[in-house]
């Protein structure tokens, strides 16, 4: 768990999150979806004689949400994350060494070699 007020942690490897953390996250998403479903069913009962079209919408949401929540919860583990490319710092470029003026002058002053 991340501590409040702590420094931000960056993932630097391609390792997945732990299985326990993955299951906990899926359970949390499922519980949120079921809470929304419960609220929509309660709103259906409350709004039935007040606003019938909205009550029907809440009823449809309450019927479809369990299927969606189960599919999302059983979707499996996340894909293996790729290593971050935004934090890559290229190595410093080493400039190419140029020939010194002494060597260039010696090459110009040298006599050409006759071809045989």
- 31-69 pLDDT, tens digit per residue, is 988 899 999 999 999 999 999 999 999 999 999 988 888
Each residue's pLDDT tens digit, 73-88: 777 666 665 655 566 6
Each residue's pLDDT tens digit, 87-114: 666 777 777 777 666 655 555 555 666 6
Residue 93 falls inside a structural domain: no
Quick check: 62 and 44 in contact, CB under 8 A? yes
Please provide the DSSP assignment of 50-109 as one string. T-HHHHHHHHHHHHHHHHHHHHHHTS-SPPPPPPPSTT--PPPPPPPPPPPHHHHHHHHH
What's the pLDDT at 39? 92
User: Number of structural domains, the chain?
Assistant: 1
Instruction: Give the dihedral sign, CA 33/36/40/42.
Output: positive
Structure tokens at 53: 């079209």
Residue 112 falls inside a structural domain: no
Residue 109 falls inside a structural domain: no
Residue 101 falls inside a structural domain: no
Band of pLDDT at residue 23, cut at 50, 70 and 90: confident
DSSP-assigned letter for residue 42 = H
What's the pLDDT at 49? 92
Domain of 21 in residue numbering reads as 14-75
What's the pLDDT at 38? 92
């Amino acid at each position: 768990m991340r501590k409040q007020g702590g420094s931000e942690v960056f993932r630097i490897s391609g390792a997945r999150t732990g299985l326990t953390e993955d299951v906990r996250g899926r359970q949390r998403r499922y519980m949120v979806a079921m809470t929304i479903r419960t609220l929509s069913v309660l709103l259906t009962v409350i709004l039935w004689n007040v606003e019938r079209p909205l009550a029907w919408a809440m009823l449809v949401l309450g019927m479809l949400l369990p299927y969606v929540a189960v599919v999302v919860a059983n979707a499996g583990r996340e894909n293996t994350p790729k290593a971050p490319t935004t934090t890559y710092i290229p190595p410093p470029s080493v400039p190419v060494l140029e020939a010194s003026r002494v060597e260039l002058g010696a090459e110009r002053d040298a006599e050409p070699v006759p071809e045989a």
